[in-house]
Chain A
Amino acid sequence: MDFSLIVRSAAFLGAGICMGIGALGPGIGQGFVAGKACEGIARSPENSALLTRTMLLGQAVAESTGIYSLVIALLLIFTTG
Chain B
Amino acid sequence: MIDSIELVQIAAYLGAAISVSFASLSAGYGEGYTAGLANFALMRQPKTSDQLSRTMLVSQAVTETGAIFSLVISLLLLFGGLDVEGGIVKAAALLAGGIAMGLGSVGPGFGSGYAGGYACSALSRMPTKGNEIMGNMLIGQALSQASSIFALVVALLLLYAIPEFSHLTLNQQIMRSVSYLGAGLCIGFGTFGPGTAIGFVAGKASDMIGRYPRERTTIMRTMFVGAAVTESTAIYSLVIAFLLMYAL
Residues of A within 8 A of B (CB): 1-2, 5-6, 8-10, 12-17, 19-39, 41-43, 45, 48, 51-52, 55-56, 59, 63, 66, 69-70, 73-74, 77
Contacts and interface: CB of A to CB of B under 8 A. Distances in A.
B193 A23 contact: yes
B227 A34 contact: yes
**B contacts with A: majority SS:** helix
Contact of A55 (B187, B226, B237): B226
B236 A69 contact: yes
Contacts of A69: 236
Interface string B201-214: 10111011101100
24 contacts: A1-B171, A5-B171, A6-B171, A12-B178, A15-B186, A16-B181, A16-B186, A20-B190, A23-B234, A24-B190, A27-B193, A27-B233, A33-B226, A37-B226, A39-B207, A41-B219, A42-B209, A42-B215, A45-B215, A51-B222, A55-B226, A59-B229, A69-B236, A77-B244
Given A42-B215, A59-B226, A70-B236, A34 B201 contact: yes
Contacts, number: 193
Interface in B109-145: none
Interface of B: 107, 171-172, 174-175, 177-179, 181-201, 203-205, 207-209, 211-212, 215, 218-219, 222-223, 225-227, 229-230, 232-234, 236-237, 239-241, 243-244, 247-248
Contact of B211 (A5, A20, A42, A55): A42
A62 to B, nearest CB: 9
B244 A31 contact: no
**A contacts with B: majority SS:** helix
Given A12-B175, A41-B218, 11 more contacts: A9-B174, A17-B189, A23-B190, A23-B193, A26-B233, A27-B192, A27-B234, A31-B196, A38-B205, A39-B208, A52-B225
B222 A34 contact: yes
B100 to A, nearest CB: 10
B212 A42 contact: yes
Given A16-B184, A20-B187, A23-B193, A66 B236 contact: yes
Contact of A38 (B107, B178, B182, B222): B222
Contacts of A9: 174-175, 177-179
B62 to A, nearest CB: 18
B225 A27 contact: no
